[in-house]
Structure 1
Amino acid sequence: MKRTVGKWISVVLASTMLFVAAACGNNGESAAGENSGNAAVNRADAPGPVKLRILWWGSQARHDATLKALDLYTEKNPGVTFETEFSGWDGYWDKLATQSAAQNAPDIIQMDASYLAEYAGRNQLADLSSGIATDDIDPGLLDTGKFKGKQYAIPLGNNAIGLAYNKQAVKQLGLTMPQNGWTWEQYFAFGQEAKAKLGDGKYALPDFSSAFAQYVNYQLSKGKGQVLSVDGDINLDKETFLEWQNQFAELRKAGVVPPADVSVTDKELDPQADLMVNGTVLTRVVHAAQSTAVDSLNPGAFDFVTMPRGAEAGGWLKPSMFWSVSASSKQVEASKKFIDWFINDPEAAEILGTSRGVPVSGQIVEKLTPKLSEADKMGINLITNTAPDAQTYVPEPQGWTNFVQKDYKAVGEKIMFGSITPEQAYEEIMKLAEEYSL
């Protein structure tokens, strides 16, 4: 039996107690929602009231905007109410894995490109090829929600990967502001210069030693191609990997990046634990879709810049996220009707803004642009500056999610804590990869 199957089962078993405990508590509700005790009745395919369970992750700003949009939908469709479940990224996928394995997934699921192949490949998502108006979505963007030719996910926003930095702190330190199009050499030099002016307990850059996506950006920028292909072949270039890991080993020694015990405490967009937000580091990886969330943590303090480049660009464009519908849902058609409204209705767009990235409808973007905030424009600028030579985003192929999300991270953290060398880490990663090969 393949390692991935065993790991999937382990995730489900490990998550069950957490999920059961969570189920005993109160889920969020839209204004017209009811207690979840009648969910089975309300979700049946029958005339009359319909309750849709809906699950998403994100910041408080996204939660608030989504709840307002759900209330508006109920106002316009009095027979439809929502049972809402939302959280941060941490724990989201373990919870969904447990629900899906038990055939108890929510009707509408916020889906990420990294997990789409896993869920669609296990026949856990409904086909959304019809019933949703998608003519105003760029065909290439729409295609990112397909798996083996079928539409299992509807994009909710355009997105780009880049770096956020604390522009207020950079200015106070008398440093040159990061520039779009900068190179990795310039990025590391910025870190060295900043560290020379920072006090004890303060660092310039985050440690990317255990970050798979950031290593992918680096390997792409060096012209060495994707680490994982769509078909599940691995191309981890040894020379480039060792160069990357040795660079961060030097940065740790110099105090440019935090020590390992500090780095592992980082929690993205957490007001207290995000290392950039709490002032421990000056920069962090960011997605354009997070612009309002980042700004809300310290309004006006941050700005975005493109990922560093080498011979090629280091950043990519991708859908910010999707809506998918559970294959076990009893309300597939009602769910599709909601998704159609969510991406195409002007009133919904006014409420949602860019909380899930730049809207996918061209008409919606045209209407919203004059009303966008400076934070919204910060995200749009990152997309605009990344787009001209952006790399093609390749999501994790089916069967590789645990390798990307857990195994690579675990090996990287061993390097950070000094328990293995980069050379040993490379061999361990390649050995693990053999067990995931299709």
Structure 2
Amino acid sequence: MTKFSRTTKTRSAVAMAMALGLGLTACGGGSDSGSEAAGDGNLRFSWWGSDPRHEANEQMITMFEEGNEGISISGEYGDFGGYWDRLATTTAGGDAPDVITMDEKYLQEYAGRGALANLSELPGLDLEKFDESSLSLGEYQDGLYGLSTGQNAYVVMVNEDLFEEAGVELPDDSTWTWDDYYDISAELEEKLGGDSRGSEFGAQDVDLRIWLRQQGESLYNEEDGGVGYSPENVTSWFEHLLTVRDDGGGPTASEFTENSSGTFEAGEFPTNRAGMGWYWSNQLAALRTASDSNISMLRVPSASGEAADNGMYYKASMYWSISEQSENKEAAAEFVNFLANDAEAAKVMLVDRGVPVNPDMAEAITPELGEADQSVVSFLDDIRPDMAEAPLPSPVGTGGVQDVVGRYVSEVLFETLTPEQATEQMTSEIEGLISAG
């Protein structure tokens, strides 16, 4: 999963393209401006990510084509921000890819506007090995519009080499509190000195989600799709970020902005300039490669020090979706079935898209995993007793909320808005997105 701090482009293209174009496709059916060879087995498959993911996907495409004569697949990919701008534009123009890599933030956005096919109605897709809890994360109203590629969790990554250099002990993540987190981060910054920080900010919408879950609330009300929190709990989250900045060994506001405009590899944590960072569990191997350091994972702190109160949850890393515009839905379903249920495909993908929720695929990849990926599988299993139920996909209209949250975080860190002012304005803006959706 890409952090907000790695993507600063706005999602205005999504809202505009959706509003202008998706109504034309909401009743189903393909478009003459889709794949040039519609009906002859030609498919387009889109995704975002790093070079290793591109290479793995191209390898899986080749494997599928070799076993399915008459179906050819072309890949379309890019960075996370550009991916959604392009998908919005092509969807509005009736030229969406047949097989789409989808994210939780946009699943209901696209499904709710009729842009995605109901996977449960496609006979070529075998869902038998997927349990109800994983399938429910891809549902919208009465249909299934996204099939989970795997699961991961949002965690605190720690650079054990920097902890050792500073002479700071790793915390017991089954009992640590936010005060422990501030103290450890401050101690790391003091002992490492120079430009090193104790921790990066955890300042995305997922961080806010977890904070609110610790207060017994949620970012969205799953009953009516509105906001699901009390203003004082969002205000306390902004105040928490100021504590990280001022007393908890965190970055300055300027450093936050610099990180926000940089690449994943150039961030403070991947370049060994921060002892702790906030990432998705499936990013462990990439962080070890970028930093060339001993990186491990910890549970999120809680106010009580009880691991069961930390608000963590298993998230569908991504989804496989099929465009409602596709004129080759049968072939697209066969390809998604291959991605979701073929052991050889799983051995290529490994845990890049999360730990497979299909148990047969999880079993197939285990002997193939390197040490980092084995650590992810083991960690996700270890924390299972403390994990709470996952939230449903974000409501229609809220695909750009991660950018909204990031903008108000910046306003608070630069002190152009107080936490109270930021809470009021951000809530108003999120409610506006939901209403417009």
Query: Which of the five TM-score ranges fits, normalised by the shorter chain?
Result: 0.7 to 0.9
Specify whether residues 283 and 327 from structure 1 end up closer, same or farther in structure 2 by C-alpha distance, changes over 3 A only. Answer: same
Gaps of 5+ in 2: 1-10, 19-32
Equivalents in 2 of 1:97, 1:52: separation in Å?
18
Residue number among 187, 191, 213 corresponding to 1:193 in the alignment: 187
1:419 aligns with 2:410: no
User: How much has 1:269 moved relative to structure 2?
Assistant: 9.7
Gaps of 5+ in 1: 1-5, 14-37
User: How much has 1:247 moved relative to structure 2?
Assistant: 3.0
Amino acid at match of 1:226: S
| Conserved 8 A contact 1:65-1:355 | no
**Where does 1:1-400 land on structure 2 (aligned, <5 Å)?**
11-12=16-17, 40-42=35-37, 44-46=38-40, 50-129=41-120, 130=122, 131-181=124-174, 182-208=176-202, 210-221=203-214, 223-230=215-222, 231-254=224-247, 256-266=249-259, 270=263, 272-299=265-292, 301-311=294-304, 312-394=309-391, 395-400=393-398
Amino acid at match of 2:255: V
Specify whether residues 437 and 54 from structure 1 end up closer, same or farther in structure 2 by C-alpha distance, changes over 3 A only. Answer: closer
| Conserved 8 A contact 1:157-1:358 | yes
Deviations 1:232-258 (A, max 9, x none): 222333333333322322332347111
Amino acid at match of 1:371: E
TM-score normalised according to structure 2 size: 0.85
| Conserved 8 A contact 1:290-1:379 | no
3-state SS in 1 of match to 2:199: coil
Specify whether residues 261 and 58 from structure 1 end up closer, same or farther in structure 2 by C-alpha distance, changes over 3 A only. Answer: same
Equivalents in 1 of 2:154, 2:383: separation in Å?
8
Deviations 1:283-320 (A, max 9, x none): 22221222333333245521111122234123111211
Equivalents in 1 of 2:131, 2:293: separation in Å?
32
User: How much has 1:142 moved relative to structure 2?
Assistant: 1.4
Amino acid at match of 2:221: S
User: How much has 1:268 moved relative to structure 2?
Assistant: 10
User: How much has 1:270 moved relative to structure 2?
Assistant: 3.7
Amino acid at match of 1:229: N
Equivalents in 1 of 2:235, 2:180: separation in Å?
20
Specify whether residues 63 and 268 from structure 1 end up closer, same or farther in structure 2 by C-alpha distance, changes over 3 A only. Answer: farther
Amino acid at match of 2:118: D
Equivalents in 2 of 1:386, 1:269: separation in Å?
32
| Conserved 8 A contact 2:186-2:249 | yes
Specify whether residues 270 and 435 from structure 1 end up closer, same or farther in structure 2 by C-alpha distance, changes over 3 A only. Answer: closer
Specify whether residues 400 and 383 from structure 1 end up closer, same or farther in structure 2 by C-alpha distance, changes over 3 A only. Answer: same
Deviations 1:210-263 (A, max 9, x none): 522202211211x33112112222233333333332232233234711112211
Amino acid at match of 1:336: A
Amino acid at match of 2:162: A
User: How much has 1:90 moved relative to structure 2?
Assistant: 2.6
User: How much has 1:101 moved relative to structure 2?
Assistant: 1.1
| Conserved 8 A contact 2:182-2:247 | no
Amino acid at match of 1:108: V
3-state SS in 2 of match to 1:90: helix
Deviations 1:7-36 (A, max 9, x none): 5676549xxxxxxxxxxxxxxxxxxxxxxx
3-state SS in 2 of match to 1:84: strand
| Conserved 8 A contact 2:155-2:297 | yes
Specify whether residues 237 and 52 from structure 1 end up closer, same or farther in structure 2 by C-alpha distance, changes over 3 A only. Answer: same
Equivalents in 2 of 1:434, 1:272: separation in Å?
34
Equivalents in 1 of 2:361, 2:112: separation in Å?
32
Equivalents in 2 of 1:377, 1:275: separation in Å?
25
Aligned length: 403
User: How much has 1:355 moved relative to structure 2?
Assistant: 1.6
Specify whether residues 434 and 133 from structure 1 end up closer, same or farther in structure 2 by C-alpha distance, changes over 3 A only. Answer: closer
User: How much has 1:399 moved relative to structure 2?
Assistant: 1.9
3-state SS in 2 of match to 1:41: coil
| Conserved 8 A contact 1:306-1:382 | no
Amino acid at match of 1:228: Y
User: How much has 1:272 moved relative to structure 2?
Assistant: 4.0
Equivalents in 1 of 2:303, 2:229: separation in Å?
17
User: How much has 1:75 moved relative to structure 2?
Assistant: 1.7
Deviations 1:85-123 (A, max 9, x none): 122323221221111111111111101112110000000
Amino-acid identity (%): 28
| Conserved 8 A contact 2:116-2:145 | yes
Equivalents in 1 of 2:60, 2:416: separation in Å?
49
Equivalents in 1 of 2:179, 2:311: separation in Å?
13
Specify whether residues 87 and 269 from structure 1 end up closer, same or farther in structure 2 by C-alpha distance, changes over 3 A only. Answer: farther
3-state SS in 2 of match to 1:401: coil
Amino acid at match of 1:186: D
Deviations 1:156-209 (A, max 9, x none): 11221112121211122111124332322221221111111122221111223x
Specify whether residues 9 and 241 from structure 1 end up closer, same or farther in structure 2 by C-alpha distance, changes over 3 A only. Answer: closer
